[in-house]
Homo-oligomer: A and B are copies of this chain.
């Protein structure tokens, strides 16, 4: 190698807790992407970065070099400020499918590139693909066509987008270096910035069903994401949201599409509607179509009540090859072969629903994948009949499971009993959104 950098010296520098320059970070990312650095050296560097951290400049340099490892989409031909949203992932979090058509119908273009589910949380792409015929795979020309025509596109990550992130992420996955705030932030932001956006809304989740169990870690992640966004001159707003129980009532790919359709028709659960309107409202404001977030929320509500959001949703489903007849009539979708109910053994109040356990149960029923090659069953999942705070009598149904794998029912039933807590006293309900983080810092914000 004729480079002026030596990878062993750079690993040593990070190992010893020193700060790397932007050029040094770029060298590592570029050389690794070109296979000029070995996997075992990249993994040693990742572990040293995990344990000694990367500061704001290093995180921005990492993002920048991963971003420029591939193409950055030029959306200047699409008029208006392009705004996207990213969620760090939670059980039952299907909000992208609601807010994308809401925001696009309000005149703010949403060029959304999403990921697949891995672990206990579902992925937007898997949910979209539960709609018969819907395709998320497309080349750049088609991506530009769709966003130009509809002000909205729902695509998967192509190989041209941040290939360095793809390679590094695969390595992190097998070397226990995933849960690092700067590495997570770099991975998220490099992909989002590559979409060609002008602004970004983030839903950073914490609690039992989220990757970040603690609020403090979630705040640190939110602030890192915002600081990277600001360094790239993209207005970035992050909400900190509680994931101690699943979002909405439905978990599983098609089940979540169903709940989104209900929401787009103005008939969604309260938590879903509130959070979705907050995020949509913020996107509409960042897109320059509202004076402030409050006005954005009002516009968001109107896009739903006026039927504009649902119409946009039908348009995009049809544009991307989906069968809109099942969207227009949800009862036409096939059902899972097996259904089972979980009944309360006592009387009282639902006081806890461990989203992580419920997410894993849904995965085991067929809704998720253990390894990247696993096939997903779009019909599998769980419908909650109760949520935290609800009164329940003995024998009443807590939730219903749907699966095509009957052998899993017994195991999963056991797990689900362990995931639901019932107490005699009515529990205190935690607010759904607790903080907001933007260029001015982090402050309390309740919803």
Chain A residues within 8 Å of B, Cβ to Cβ = 8-9, 11-12, 15, 38-44, 46-48, 50-52, 171, 174-177
A8 surroundings in chain B (CB, below 8 A): 174-176
Q: Which residue in B44, B174, B176 is a CB contact (below 8 Å) of A175? A: B44
User: Can you list 26 A-B contacts with CB-CB less than 8 angstroms, sorted by A residue number?
Assistant: A8-B174, A8-B176, A11-B47, A11-B175, A12-B176, A15-B51, A15-B176, A15-B177, A38-B40, A38-B174, A39-B39, A40-B40, A40-B42, A40-B43, A40-B171, A41-B43, A41-B175, A43-B47, A44-B46, A44-B175, A44-B176, A47-B47, A47-B48, A47-B51, A48-B51, A51-B51
Whole-angstrom distance between the alpha carbons of A15 and B175 in the complex?
A: 10
A174 surroundings in chain B (CB, below 8 A): 8, 38, 40-41
Whole-angstrom distance between the alpha carbons of A238 and B47 in the complex?
A: 33
B39/A177 in contact, CB under 8 A: no
Whole-angstrom distance between the alpha carbons of A174 and B41 in the complex?
A: 7
Known: A39-B39, A47-B48, A48-B51. 11 other contacts (CB 8 A): A15-B177, A38-B174, A40-B40, A40-B42, A40-B43, A41-B174, A41-B175, A43-B47, A44-B44, A44-B175, A48-B176
A11 CB → nearest B CB, Å: 4
A175 surroundings in chain B (CB, below 8 A): 8, 11, 40-41, 44
Shortest Cβ-Cβ A-B pairs, 5 listed: A47-B47, A44-B175, A12-B176, A11-B176, A39-B40
A41 surroundings in chain B (CB, below 8 A): 43, 174-175
A49 CB → nearest B CB, Å: 10
Copies of this protein chain in the complex: 2
A285 CB → nearest B CB, Å: 40
A44/B177 in contact, CB under 8 A: yes
Q: A42-B40, A43-B41, A44-B177 are in contact. Are A15 and B50 (CB under 8 A)?
A: yes
Whole-angstrom distance between the alpha carbons of A43 and B177 in the complex?
A: 12
Whole-angstrom distance between the alpha carbons of A44 and B43 in the complex?
A: 5
A18 CB → nearest B CB, Å: 12
Q: Which residue of B lies closest to A15 (CB)?
A: B176
Whole-angstrom distance between the alpha carbons of A41 and B50 in the complex?
A: 14
A177 surroundings in chain B (CB, below 8 A): 15, 44
Q: Which residue of B lies closest to A6 (CB)?
A: B176
A179 CB → nearest B CB, Å: 9
Whole-angstrom distance between the alpha carbons of A12 and B46 in the complex?
A: 13
A244 CB → nearest B CB, Å: 23
Whole-angstrom distance between the alpha carbons of A38 and B177 in the complex?
A: 15
Question: Which of the listed residues A12, A38, A43, A50 has the most CB atoms from chain B within 10 Å of its own CB?
Answer: A43
Q: Which residue of B lies closest to A11 (CB)?
A: B176
A176 surroundings in chain B (CB, below 8 A): 8-9, 11-12, 15, 44, 48
Whole-angstrom distance between the alpha carbons of A177 and B176 in the complex?
A: 17
A11 surroundings in chain B (CB, below 8 A): 47, 175-176
A370 CB → nearest B CB, Å: 13
Q: Which residue of B lies closest to A17 (CB)?
A: B51
A102 CB → nearest B CB, Å: 39
Q: Which residue in B9, B15, B39, B171 is a CB contact (below 8 Å) of A47? A: B15
Q: Which residue of B lies closest to A172 (CB)?
A: B44
A43 surroundings in chain B (CB, below 8 A): 40-41, 43-44, 47
Whole-angstrom distance between the alpha carbons of A51 and B50 in the complex?
A: 11
A344 CB → nearest B CB, Å: 35
A171 surroundings in chain B (CB, below 8 A): 40
